[in-house]
Amino acid sequence: MNPSHYLTLLRIVLSPIFPILYLEREWLGIPLVWLPYILLFLLIICECSDVLDGMLARKRNEVTELGKVLDPMADSITHISLFLTFTQGIVSLPLLLVFVFLYRDLFISTLRTLCALRGVALAARFSGKMKAVLQAAVAFLIILLMIPYSTGLISLALFQHICLFSVSVAALYTLASIGDYVYANWVYIKRAF
């Protein structure tokens, strides 16, 4: 374990706090107008730790196999926890769109694991990194849109339409990233099987 691993683990530990705060807001006594700021603060911590753990590992020359596994796993846990949470309450995303994120990450992780067991290492793709950036941007957008919604500046219908559109774009890109990953690694995948 090194400092970058602890930053990665911080994201994993913080991820369950999103659904607790969002779904149990009333029970916890959190006013709707405060909720987006609290969620935004948590998401900023998660995304900053994502950037810092990689920078720290490279700067200290501590890039490890564990870090290569933990980092994408922490991204998946953070983003999927958040988007699954947003299938409930005021955001009301369709569960099917969130399943695109979940199934993509499960498929790629399983494929990489099976190939690794056969001695073939599949490299990460730029499209996978862009997928994580796009999902983070959409998560920020949804939380930021909660601010004008909570103060009555935009209607629930408009809020939900924008959320649905932005998550749909992210889901389409996520699907495309699966194709890119398989296409770019097809020679290695065939060798493994």
10-residue mean pLDDT series, the chain (193 residues): 84 94 95 96 92 83 75 89 96 95 91 81 81 95 97 96 97 93 82 71
User: pLDDT value at position 112?
Assistant: 83
Q: What is the pLDDT of residue 56?
A: 83
CA distance 42 to 157: 26
In this prediction, residue 122 carries a pLDDT of 72
Give the count of beta carbons closer than 10 Å to the beta carbon of residue 179. 10
DSSP code of 132?
H
Alpha helices in the chain (DSSP H): 3-14, 17-23, 25-28, 35-59, 65-85, 95-117, 126-150, 156-184, 186-192
Rama region for 61: left / alpha / beta (φ>0; ψ in -120 to 50; rest): left
- pLDDT at residue number 7: 86
pLDDT of the residue at 110: 86
Domains of the chain with bracketed CATH: 3-192 (1.20.120)
pLDDT score at 80 = 94
Residues in the chain: 193
What distance in Å separates the CA atoms of residue 139 and residue 47, rounded to the nearest whole number?
A: 11
Determine the Cα–Cα distance for residues 103 and 175; give it in Å rounded to an integer: 10
Residue 81 is predicted with a pLDDT of: 94
